[in-house]
Amino acid sequence: MRSKESSGFQWGPALGQSALFLGIEHGIRLAFDPPSRTAFGGKFWKEYVNSLREVKQWGDGNPDFINYLGHPMQGSIVGFIQIQNDPKGRSLPISWSQRYWNSRLKALAWSAAYSAYFEIGFPFSEAAMGNLGVDKNRKTQQGIVDLVITPTLGLGWLVSEDLIDRYVVDRFERSHPGKVGQAVIRSTLNPTRSASNVLRFKPPWHRDGRHLGSRRSDVLKTVLYLNGERKTD
């Protein structure tokens, strides 16, 4: 008989890891963005409401590499937070199965909720803490771009890492069972999964149900068997 912890979504750890990531992101933003720090001295409620009203144009003034690279990575990290706290989805390799895509769509929803809170939530958001959109002299404002790009391209990034994990890391592990080599390949070729592992205080190379030094092809068969699937490749 499965325990409640092993079968149900782990809300506490998922929220805690998301909150930790939120704190790290805002801490970095406040450390390197002086206007966000000075905004704390303004009229909070009035400026917060004004910031929300500015979410009406697509762009936010940030460089493309932030909007179309940085934010998708953010979305992927948060998506992996959802996945690693879902016992039904965290060990699933990429496939065309309904089970896999249902799992990743849940990650998309989690990422969308996180992105919305990060941008315009209360009280720990860019709109609330930095009052983006109030000062017209600033280069960056509120925009729709991050609310859309973070979860959607974030899902694409996440699925790409799943693809690499199965068809690149898998092949490497079949012929290189050494722990050091596997740790390096896992960490570097799945950077956002590695970041989400750190947020749950696991090493970057951690994989649920897969130990360093094991041949992943054998572990993969076990994972697929436990999830009621057949290995087709």
- From the first residue on, what is the mean pLDDT of each consecutive set of 10 residues in the chain (233 residues)? 65 98 93 74 75 81 90 98 96 96 98 96 83 56 88 98 96 91 97 98 95 64 51 42
Question: What count of other Cβ atoms lies within 10 Å of the Cβ of residue 33?
Answer: 16
Q: Are 39 and 128 in contact (CB under 8 A)?
A: no
CA 230 – CA 233 distance, rounded (Å): 9
- pLDDT for the residue numbered 182: 96
pLDDT at 3: 45
CA angle 12, 229, 220 (to 5 degrees): 75
Instruction: Check residue 19 and give its pLDDT.
Output: 98
Residue 131: the pLDDT is 66
CA distance 233 to 226: 17
| pLDDT confidence of residue 155 | 98
Predicted local distance difference test score (pLDDT) of residue 129: 79
**φ/ψ (deg, to 5) at 123:** -100, 0
Q: What local confidence, expressed as pLDDT, does residue 33 receive?
A: 75
Question: Given this model, what pLDDT does residue 4 score?
Answer: 46
Residue 232: predicted pLDDT: 41
- Collapsed DSSP state (helix, strand, coil) of residue 59: coil
Place of tokens 């974030």: 154
The predicted pLDDT at position 41 comes to 63
